[in-house]
Structure 1
Amino acid sequence: MTVQQHSHSIDPKVEQKQLESLVEQILTEAKRQGATAAEVGVSLDTGLSASVRKGEVETVEFNCDRGFGITAYVGKRKGSASTSDSSPEAIEDTVAAAVNIARYTSEDDCAGLADPEQMAQQIPDLDLYHPWGITPEQAVDLAKTTEAAAFQQSDLICNSEGATVASHQGCRLYGNSNGFLGSYLSSRHSISCVMIAQQQKEMQRDYWYTIARNSGDLQAAEQVGAKAAERTVARLGSRKVETCQVPVLFSAELASSILGHFLSAVTGSSQYREASFLLNSLDQQIFPDNVRIHEQPHLKGVIGSAAFDNDGLATYAKDFVTDGVLQSYVLSTYSARKLKIQSTANAGGVHNLFIEPHDYSLNDLLKKMDRGLLVTELMGHGINAVTGDYSRGAAGFWVENGKIQFPVSEVTIASNLKNMFRNLVAIGNDIDWRSNVKTGSLLIEQMTVAGH
């Protein structure tokens, strides 16, 4: 059990101060080697993962990953290098590599650190660190409990792809030569289960999972297993449908991918590269006027929360869309300079993006849709980021008279993202909190469903 002892002997809380000191040493070393400015990002992740399949232990894995990303600037030239080795020799060599790359790259007027006055001055405690202390034996037992609950749910459950229990904790740090050094501890724990059901010759698979910063906030293992089985069995008896133009309802766990396409289109890099179907769309109506999309980075204990971005800027609550109108792009320091506007403290992405729900449950949305397709799985990646053309394989359930009639598989849904955004009819209040993008189910007025 040497691996176990090694993994659990590394406490991120103990390491945090040492890593902060190491970041300062790296910045000093970069200056010594001729960098005019430098920045360092460090991640430490330790954890345990246990998987079982059909009641037997498949894997028990321990990990301890540590990485240093070092960026050196020589004037307006930039070079980056990384290492997982924190010995003085390795750090010196990695800094030298970054500085040498910087000397040979072309100048970029937008390169460089964020201005010192923009850096986060205080770092609030967002309650992101809750170590679980679960032993490998307990993790295995919990995984077995999860899978057993799935098998007990229905006689149609014939097989399993396994249940997994995972617990991770770590530390993130960012420092730069403008005097910023920020760090925070975080944890994430999860239970997941993938099951297979059979009826005559037809087989279907589906899954369920729960994830949280605090193990006390996880769904019970028995509930995860039962839900995985329930979702799997519900897919049996699936049919194809005739090609038609109908409303499409994206379930909450898939709706985040639709908002993901919106985010990609309004990031600064897509805008300055002119590779977006929402090019130059600031202050334009993109969604119906009852749609608000906003970011809440400081929610305590939530997956997605962060006090500062990858440039060291303090994150803050903001609207990206108000009354359906695009208020702001998603900008890092670099992309903001390219577009000659201010950073939105989104280097590295958004933190807890919400689309404000309307007062509809999933059942209300089905009634509102009346006839159409509820999508619960998406396959393939037929999305054109420049034109917005959207085409993906899908599976789900056919709805008539506001009620689910039968499962549907092997169909393609197609439209254009611009039209999908404009024709967003309703947003469910069944918010999926497991993702960084938090949304309920989304009802789109009309898409092409290609079946037979």
Structure 2
Amino acid sequence: MHDLSSLTAALLDAAGKAGAESADAIATSGASLSIEVRAGALEHAERSEGVDIGLRVLIGKRQACVSASDTSERTISEMAERAVAMARLAPEDPFIGLADPSQLATDVSADWLDLVETAPEPDPAMLQEAALAAEASALSHHGISQVESASAGFSNTAVHLAATNGFAGGYARSSHWLSTVAITGEGTGMERDYFGESRIYRGDLPSPEEVGRIAAERTLARAKPRKPKTGAYPVLYDERVASGLIGHLLQASNGSAVARGSSWLKDKLGEQILPAGLSITEDPRRVRVGGSKPFDAEGLPTRARQIVENGVLTGWTLDLATARKLGMDSTANAARGTSAPPSPTVSNIALTEGDQSRGDLIRDMGTGLLVTSLIGSSINATTGDYSRGASGFWIENGEIAYPVNELTIAGNLLEMLVSIRPANDARHWTSRVVPSLLVEGLTVAGD
């Protein structure tokens, strides 16, 4: 096992010797195993392990990033020399720079976040057994013609960051997953759907039998779909796709988009964009949730904040550079890989839930569309005009009438979001805690 802290220290030392004025370094390691079965037999098995390193050097207001998967002393030295040469030729950016030491996190431990299962990694045979059980469960349902895939796997990853401003810290996380894709019908009449979960602890996963059952039930419900009549209808985004709708808001409130002027929210700070009573909270410090972390990619301590409070947009998602461009303070949302500088990215978010179930919202719709799957995306970044391909179920008289597909839903995000009604069915163990969402008056294009 590589000592990631030693690698980042070596990168910083090499950068200084090569002539960098300041620098930060990142080292990541990971191991993963995935097993896929089909027709009762092993279809695919893959295991990977690796270490990657990245270095960013700064000379004045110029910077450059380099990365490698070779951790030898020679490679590290060559990386630093190449990065410094590149930085000297790079265009100036007045907003780049490391954090001031006074801004840095002082408690960098992630142990209390419970992001790693310390048990031995699962045996490949155990993963294959789980995938086979999920496949058998799906196939036991009458009408399921085949299982496209059933897979199980795990991964362990670690990251360590260090910079010449004195920051150093790292953390690790584990992930276990199980999923199934089932098919009903034959030829052009085939329909498919899926179910899967990912958790930090293997014991928190649903049973293989439940994974297979839900995949089968979802698939059978999609059999023999129709096209709905074109018109304006209420649309209910099922919980499994509703986070995508909120994701468009998160993208538009990202400091990078705002700084470029390419955001349909750029003039909406302090204005109401969701119904009163609804808030979007980011909390990077949720225990036992995969998106959690004690510090961001620039060494700043993470903290909970409101992106939207009581319907009002309260702030942007910022790293140091975008904060400087906008004359604000970083929200400690910097993220980065090994080959690029930091950029702002949200972690765990939660939307206020309602007090009605998804069934209650379906009843209240009367006639409309329940969306369970979305494909493609046409979003105008500056106006918020929205159009997406969709499939799901047609609602009549407040009940699910029949499955539908090959349709398009369209509207404007500013108008859509200010009218949403949330259900109470969010999954609280995910990093996107967003319930089913009812949106009034979208254009549905079918027949």
> TM class, shorter-chain normalised?
over 0.9
TM-score (norm 2): 0.95
The verdict on how the C-alpha distance between 1:316 and 1:110 changes in structure 2, with shifts beyond 3 A counting, is same
Aligned equivalents of 1:136, 1:429: Cα separation in 2: 38
What's the counterpart of residue 385 of structure 2? Answer: 389
What's the counterpart of residue 58 of structure 2? Answer: 73
Which segment is superposed worse, 408-417 or 130-139? 130-139
1:182 equivalent to 2:177? Answer no
Deviation at 1:435, TM superposition (A): 4.5
What's the counterpart of residue 330 of structure 1? Answer: 317
Aligned equivalents of 2:138, 2:76: Cα separation in 1: 49
Question: Which of residues 334, 350, 353 in structure 1 aligns to 2:349?
Answer: 353
Deviation at 1:283, TM superposition (A): 0.6
What's the counterpart of residue 341 of structure 2? Answer: none
Q: Is the 8 A contact 1:396 1:407 kept in 2?
A: yes
Aligned equivalents of 2:39, 2:379: Cα separation in 1: 38
Q: Deviations over 1:299-326 (max 9, x none)?
A: 1111211111111111101101111101
1:231-380 matched pairs, under 5 angstroms? 231-348=218-335, 349-380=345-376
Question: Which of residues 133, 138, 152 in structure 2 aligns to 1:145?
Answer: 133
Aligned equivalents of 1:200, 1:167: Cα separation in 2: 34
Count the aligned residue pairs.
435
1:51 equivalent to 2:36? Answer yes
Q: Is the 8 A contact 2:4 2:28 kept in 1?
A: no
Aligned equivalents of 2:186, 2:439: Cα separation in 1: 32
Helix, strand or coil at the partner of 1:306: coil
Q: Is the 8 A contact 1:378 1:392 kept in 2?
A: yes
Helix, strand or coil at the partner of 2:363: helix
Aligned equivalents of 1:43, 1:21: Cα separation in 2: 12
Which segment is superposed worse, 131-140 or 112-121? 131-140
Q: Deviations over 1:216-251 (max 9, x none)?
A: 111111100110011000000211111010100101
Gaps of 5+ in 1: 1-9
Aligned equivalents of 2:319, 2:85: Cα separation in 1: 25
Q: Is the 8 A contact 2:146 2:182 kept in 1?
A: yes
Q: Deviations over 1:409-446 (max 9, x none)?
A: 1110000111111121x112211346532201011111
Aligned equivalents of 2:358, 2:187: Cα separation in 1: 31
Aligned equivalents of 2:368, 2:268: Cα separation in 1: 31
Aligned equivalents of 1:351, 1:140: Cα separation in 2: 32
Quick one: percent identity of the two aligned structures? 40
Q: Is the 8 A contact 1:204 1:236 kept in 2?
A: yes
Helix, strand or coil at the partner of 2:324: helix
RMSD: 1.3
Aligned equivalents of 2:414, 2:62: Cα separation in 1: 38
AA aligned to 1:385 is: A
AA aligned to 1:140 is: Q
Q: Is the 8 A contact 1:210 1:434 kept in 2?
A: no
Aligned equivalents of 2:56, 2:429: Cα separation in 1: 32
Question: Which of residues 41, 66, 75 in structure 2 aligns to 1:90?
Answer: 75
Question: Which of residues 417, 427, 430 in structure 2 aligns to 1:432?
Answer: 427
TM-score (norm 1): 0.94
Helix, strand or coil at the partner of 1:189: strand
Deviation at 1:146, TM superposition (A): 0.7
Aligned equivalents of 1:200, 1:147: Cα separation in 2: 21
1:111-190 matched pairs, under 5 angstroms? 111-124=96-109, 125=111, 126-131=113-118, 133-152=121-140, 154-190=141-177
Q: Is the 8 A contact 1:308 1:345 kept in 2?
A: yes
Q: Is the 8 A contact 1:38 1:70 kept in 2?
A: yes
Q: Deviations over 1:70-97 (max 9, x none)?
A: 1000111101101011100111111112
Helix, strand or coil at the partner of 2:293: coil
The verdict on how the C-alpha distance between 1:236 and 1:97 changes in structure 2, with shifts beyond 3 A counting, is same
Q: Deviations over 1:25-63 (max 9, x none)?
A: 211111111111101122211011100011111111101
Aligned equivalents of 2:428, 2:32: Cα separation in 1: 22
Q: Deviations over 1:345-392 (max 9, x none)?
A: 111211210001011211112122222100000011111212211111
Q: Is the 8 A contact 2:145 2:186 kept in 1?
A: no
The verdict on how the C-alpha distance between 1:408 and 1:35 changes in structure 2, with shifts beyond 3 A counting, is same
1:449 equivalent to 2:429? Answer no
Aligned equivalents of 1:209, 1:190: Cα separation in 2: 7
Helix, strand or coil at the partner of 1:286: coil
Deviation at 1:69, TM superposition (A): 1.6
Q: Is the 8 A contact 2:131 2:150 kept in 1?
A: yes
Q: Is the 8 A contact 1:41 1:172 kept in 2?
A: yes
Deviation at 1:19, TM superposition (A): 1.1
The verdict on how the C-alpha distance between 1:200 and 1:90 changes in structure 2, with shifts beyond 3 A counting, is closer
AA aligned to 1:272 is: A
The verdict on how the C-alpha distance between 1:434 and 1:127 changes in structure 2, with shifts beyond 3 A counting, is closer
What's the counterpart of residue 406 of structure 2? Answer: 410
Question: Which of residues 392, 396, 399 in structure 2 aligns to 1:400?
Answer: 396
AA aligned to 1:146 is: A
Aligned equivalents of 2:52, 2:361: Cα separation in 1: 45
